[in-house]
Structure 1
Amino acid sequence: MAEPKNWQGMAHFLEHMIFKGTKNILPGVFDQVVEHNGGVTNAATSHDYAHFFLTTASPYLADTLPYLAEILLQAEIAEDEFIRERDVVLEEIRSCYDDPDWLGFQTLCESLYQHHPYGKSILGDESRLRQYSPHQMRCFHRTHYQPQNMTVVIVGNVQQDKALSLVETEFKDFNVPSECPPTGWKAEPPLQEVRRNKMYLQRLEQGRLLMGWVGPGIDKLEDGLGLDLISVILGAGRTSRLVRELREEKHLVWHIESSFSLQKDSSLFTIGAWLDVPYLEKVEDLICDRLVQLQVELISEAELNRAKRLLCHDYIFSTETPGQLAGLYGYYETIASAELSLSYPLIIEKLSPQDLQRIACEYLSPERYAITVMQPC
């Protein structure tokens, strides 16, 4: 979200360039050091943050963390490496355009978020990436890779005082802050209508339908987790409402699911289906009707408890490894506070049928949503 309005894809491109080293760490040396110590490393970029991780045995933390700190804080962004890596990113963009699911999802996001950066692809687009320069990227790096924007999480068999000392020693040599152009983004106004997009793709064999609603941001976490519960009730597993009715009983779809994605400014609730083209309109109408049902009829305690068990078990499974815990704590600390990561099961358990009815009424309107329909040519 920190990208200037005409710099889309810069954060993701910079994620690639971080691994190209510094004046002291040549390209490939960081990976060599980590792998020599039996570790692995990788990174990812979302709309809200860039995530770099390093997994290694605790005795080798002091041997590897300094390298991660230096490439993050002192990225060289050399011109020759910039040009080479740009081709890699461009190929990544091209490969996405071969994926119907990515195309449909991106079209849905652009329809839902017409003013906010959540509507733009994290990868950027080919024409803009060809115009970017190493100088622009250095400016972006020096503006945003600063201590007030960074969270360092260490999880594992490491003493706290030693971990803190290592972080304080290695994460201190930040660049002099620079300035990028202002972002120029606007807050997204509430959706007031149904926004439709239709796509015809040669490589499709079935129709696809993807519907989306904008949910609350992290500042209304309880409402967001209520939508998470509703997504399970509607479309997670054979006994969920939409799967049972539309796939198992009426055979109107080949596959259907709902999902919820928590984001800093506003979350995303989606329902997607694979189905034969003649059923597209009927399935959309049935989905809307089932949303109305959520608003006028209370969910049973048995159905709610099933959804709660599923989400709480998923939460437990997502905290089994040090890497998972580090990602969880880092995510919440970056967009809000790490303490919120511990509140997830507590909030889930206290939500009532009345809470979910209110949340469905507030966020899942059958008259205000975006929909992308994909059909074979």
Structure 2
Amino acid sequence: MFKKEYLDNKIPVLLERIKGVRSVCLGIWVKVGSRYETKQKNGISHFLEHMLFKGTKRRSQKEIAVEIDSLGGDLNAYTSKETTTFYIKLLDDYLEKGTDLLMDIFLHSRLPEDEIEKEKGIVIEEIKMVEDTPDDYIHDLFSEYVWNREDIGLGILGTKKTVRSFTKKDLVEHIRKHYTISNTVISCAGNIEHEEVLKWLNSSIGKISNDSQPHTYSKPKFHHGTKVVTKDCAEVHLCIGTEGIAQGSPERYAMLLMNTVIGAGVSSRLFQEIREQRGLAYSVYSYTSSYHDCGLFGVYVGTGRKKYQQVIDIVRDELVTFKDTVSEDELTRAKKQLKGNLVLALESTSGRMNNLARQEIYYGKYISPSEIMKAIDGVRFSEVRELSDRLFTDRKFALTVLGPVKNALI
């Protein structure tokens, strides 16, 4: 059973009681991520996310770690382009203790200077690890290129230079500016009693009073063209894509279905053609990334240095001719696949918690699984063709290549 409530200070709380489970997942979502940073302070949202686990007025870093392990739970956080999320997942018997722990790190972290210096080294190692993982790194390079390394194009981790520059004053100012009533959404799913959860939240985060103005958006410009980053890798990694659609677009279900047919799953066109039929790659898939006011459709392939241009040609031709070759049978199968994926993703309490918060942030309302499945079934064949025609037919693609090569053509 879903319910939307507001705390005493008007922070929205999304609650879903799920019968038959013993776990609960509680999350705090802050509407700030790398797109709201400056180039000079790029990565500060992610860095602060790390720092909130480094000790509070009541608990040391180790005491936080020991307590969550003793509860048999998971206390974690992650940063994206537009949000920062802190969550705890544990047995329903321990929800009150878990709520106290989560609220303590969120509201009362000390941000000790010595830990800030230590964490800089840890995050720099994280940056280097991504740079040494080419199938991850290519996505950062692609995003930076197509969005001109500003706004959505700023990397989540930041750079080694920006991370080294962070001070406690920077972190405190980031909290003051962004960790506010208007920027916060709380979601909770599992075996819960709504009134109990609200009581615990009102006694902690429900008492904060700092607020801010909502973010303003200036739609970033998508950059077409080719960027080649030469690096000594065993494979050539490439991303090909074009401008997509915003998260709240009425075409979002048509986009998901198109993506499913093109490259989401082992029966998809690109997987079958590039991997199964031609043996040109091990990893190949398409994906969508959607934000408040813009989006991206992309294809990733990891292949050999003698095969990468052939792979680029196959992907380009598949996209350009899609509107004329897609069939109604493919669309019917894609609908079944997409609906099945949706149900499986919502089987866990953490999946439900994430879904509740994202819907509130991007749509301002709850959309039930049955409503989503009805919307998927309602997508017409002509809508998918028209969307692919608009995105692909003019051949305005962007291409980023990472590996032991010096040039590429799209």
Which of 288, 307, 323 is the equivalent residue of 2:316? 288
Alignment partner of 1:198 is 2:228: yes
In 2, Cα distance between the equivalents of 1:155 and 1:199?
A: 44
Does residue 323 (structure 1) correspond to residue 357 (structure 2)? The answer is no
SS in 1 for 2:176: helix
Is the contact between residue 5 and residue 185 of structure 1 (CA under 8 Å) also seen in structure 2? no
CA distance in 2, matches of 1:158, 1:252: 50
CA–CA separation in structure 2 for the residues paired with 1:73 and 1:175: 12
Cα gap change, 1:243 to 1:57, in 2 (>3 Å): closer
- Report if aligned partners of 2:235, 2:303 keep a CA contact under 8 Å in 1: yes
- 1: distance between equivalents of 2:140 and 2:403? 16
Of 310-319 and 273-282, more deviation after overlay is shown by 273-282
Alignment of 1:163-312 (within 5 A): 163-174=197-208, 176=210, 186-191=218-223, 194-202=224-232, 204-220=233-249, 222-297=250-325, 299-312=326-339
Equivalent pair of 1:253/1:273 in contact (CA under 8 Å): yes
Q: Matched residue of 2:174: which SS? A: helix
Cα distance in 1 for residues equivalent to 2:275 and 2:116: 48
Is the alpha carbon distance of 1:316 and 1:201 closer, same or farther for their aligned partners in structure 2, counting shifts above 3 Å?
A: same
1:351 deviates by 0.9
Tell me the distance in 1 between the aligned counterparts of 2:264 and 2:96: 43
Distance (Å, rounded) in 2 between the aligned partners of 1:129 and 1:375: 26
SS in 2 for 1:148: coil
Contact 1:200–1:376, Cα closer than 8 Å, also in 2: yes
SS of 1:151's partner is: strand
Instruction: Give, in angstroms, the shift of residue 50 of structure 1.
Output: 0.9
Matches within 5 A, 1:148-167: 148-167=182-201
Distance 1:115 1:82 in 2: 26
Amino acid at match of 1:85: E
Share of identical aligned residues, percent? Answer: 25
Which of the residues 50, 74, 78 maps onto 2:108?
74
Contact 1:328 1:341 in 2 (8 A): no
In structure 1, runs of 5+ residues without a counterpart are: none
Residue 160 of structure 2: aligned partner: 126
Greater CA deviation, 338-347 or 53-62?
338-347
Three-state SS of the structure 2 residue aligned to 1:197 is strand
Residues 364 and 308 of structure 1: is their aligned pair in 2 closer, same or farther, counting only changes over 3 Å? same
Rounded Cα–Cα distance in structure 2 between residues aligned with 1:173 and 1:200: 53
- 8 Å Cα contact 1:198-1:372 kept in structure 2: yes
Alpha-carbon distance in structure 1 between the residues aligned to 2:222 and 2:116: 39
Cα 1:300–1:94 shift into 2, 3 Å:
same
Report the equivalent of 2:77: 43
- Paired residue total: 370
Q: How high is the TM-score relative to the length of structure 1?
A: 0.90
The residue number in structure 1 matching 2:396 is 368
**Aligned residue in 1 for 2:364:** 337
Equivalence for 2:386:
358
Q: 1:208 to 1:38 in 2, by over 3 A?
A: closer
Matches of 1:251 and 1:78, distance apart in 2: 53
**Are the equivalent residues in 2 in contact too, given 1:226–1:359 (CA < 8 A)?**
yes
Q: Which moved more, 1:325-334 or 1:136-145?
A: 325-334
Bigger shift: residues 367-376 or 304-313: 367-376
- AA of the residue aligned to 2:399: I
2:241–2:299 Cα contact (<8 Å) kept: yes
Query: Which residue is 1:13 aligned to?
Result: 47
Q: Secondary structure at the match of 1:233?
A: helix
**Cα distance change on mapping 1:328 and 1:81 into 2, 3 Å:** same
Alpha-carbon RMSD: 2.5
Counterpart pick for 2:138 among 88, 93, 104: 104
CA gap of 1:178–1:310, structure 2 versus 1, over 3 A, is closer
Distance 2:293 2:361 in 1: 13
User: Deviation above 6 Å: which 4+ runs of structure 1?
Assistant: none
Counterpart contact for 2:264–2:286, Cα < 8 Å: yes
TM value normalised by structure 2: 0.83
Shift of 1:294: 1.9
Specify the code of the residue in structure 2 equivalent to 1:188.
Answer: P
Q: Cα distance, 1:348 vs. partner?
A: 1.7
Give the distance between the partners of 2:212 and 2:61, measured in 1 at CA: 24
Following TM superposition, by how much is the alpha carbon of 1:125 offset from its aligned partner in structure 2, in angstroms? 0.3
- Structure 2, unpaired ranges of 5+: 1-34, 406-410
What is the identity, as a one-letter code, of the residue corresponding to 2:65? Answer: D
Q: What is the one-letter code of the residue matched to 1:196?
A: T
Deviates more, 1:330-339 or 1:143-152: 330-339
For residues 215-255 of structure 1, what are the alpha-carbon distances to aligned partners after superposition, in whole Å with 9 as ceiling and x for unaligned? Answer: 111230x3233222112111233432222223333444444
**Higher helix fraction (1 or 2):** 1
Offset at residue 285 of structure 1 (A): 2.5
Q: Which amino acid aligns with 1:76?
A: R
Q: Give, in whole Å, the separation in 2 of the partners of 1:2 and 1:376.
A: 34
Structure (1 or 2) with the greater strand fraction: 2
State how far apart, in whole Å, the 1-side matches of 2:225 and 2:173 are.
Answer: 37
